[in-house]
Amino acid sequence: MTQTGVRVERQPLSRYTTLGVGGEAEIWFVETLDQLREAVSAPYRILGGGSNLVVADEGVPERVIRLCGPLAKADLEPDPQLSTAGDIVTGWVGGGTPLPGLLRKLQGLGLSNLEGTVGIPAQVGGAVWMNAGTRFGEMFGGLHSLELVTPQGTRTVTPDELDWGYRNSGIPRGEIVSRVRLRLRASTPPDVQARMTLADDARKGQPKMKTPGCAFKNPQGVAGKGAGRLIDEAGLKGTRCGQAMISPEHANFIVNLGGATAADVHGLLDIIRRQVPVPLELEYELWP
């Protein structure tokens, strides 16, 4: 029994990853900040929506924290103290809140700033950790402040205290995004919907199979080719390693054909690194 009554279960992480790969770990289903403080008292990893993860077939030795209950709920009431004429600042949104459902609610309320992230199957905490986004907008476009938990304690920061950028929040590894406040702007439901549709249309070429999204970040700094185009030009679409395949639809996506292993995915990542002439930075998080 844990001191704070956290539910702990040993389960395969393949159940919690969009790739459908990953061995067993001890999962801590954390619902309160007290439980979170207990959970970080021994080596841990924090799991979000599992949509950017390649977890080893052996699993991981650390406890795996999953935020749920109140830490997966959103208080979208504007905070009268923090909101201004232009900015609507919400109450706390738990790090475990599923991003797609949150965006749907914001659309219904006609609240703008985050709709460019539509289609990202993340939790809020994981999306903030990566500063997930598309060319239509990113998480840091709609954040007011973040609560971060570590074994040393809890701190609240604002985005301008972090060195964030493309697919990078600047949050030190190991710090858990327990809750955030959103910074939104008043719009109308149809206008938010129109911008969501635009961002969604840009996904038409992405595969609908089990995948952790784009494998590599797009090289930055030089106006030029993205990772997908580079992998495509290397002639690698459709390449298979076991039950994993470089998607014939979009070359920066690795898909699970059914029964793929982490080793299969690593095999494809090695092939890409060897055959693409430009150095590419991995976007996936590899566990361990």
Interface positions with ligand FAD (CB under 6 A): 18, 45-53, 67, 95, 120-123, 125-127, 129-130, 132-134, 167, 176-177, 211-213, 285
Question: Of 97, 252, 256, 261, which lies in the binding site for ligand EPU, with binding defined by CB under 6 A?
Answer: 252
Report how far residue 58's alpha carbon sits from residue 66's, in angstroms, rounded to the nearest whole number: 19
Structural tokens at position 88:
């609507």
| Residue 236 interacts with ligand EPU (CB under 6 A): yes or no | no
* Contact indicator for 234, 276 with CB cutoff of 8 Å: yes
Annotated active-site residue 241? The verdict is no
* Contact indicator for 211, 155 with CB cutoff of 8 Å: no
Residue 159 CB, nearest approach to ligand FAD (Å) = 15
Q: Which of 276, 269, 270 is nearest to 253 (CA)?
A: 269
Give me Rg for the CA atoms of the chain: 19
Select from ligand EPU, ligand FAD, none the partner in contact with residue 111, using the beta carbon and a kind-dependent cut-off of 5 to 8 Å: none
DSSP 60-115: -SSEEEEE-GGGG-B--SB-TTT--SS-EEEEEEETTSBHHHHHHHHHHHTEESSG
Annotated active-site residue 214? The verdict is yes
| Residue 126 interacts with ligand EPU (CB under 6 A): yes or no | no
Catalytic-labelled residue, pool 37, 181, 214, 241: 214
Residue 50 CB, nearest approach to ligand EPU (Å) = 13
Catalytic-labelled residue, pool 7, 167, 195, 229: 167
| Residue 207 interacts with ligand EPU (CB under 6 A): yes or no | no
Of the pair 213, 228, the CB lying nearest ligand FAD is at: 213
Residues labelled as active-site residues: 167, 214
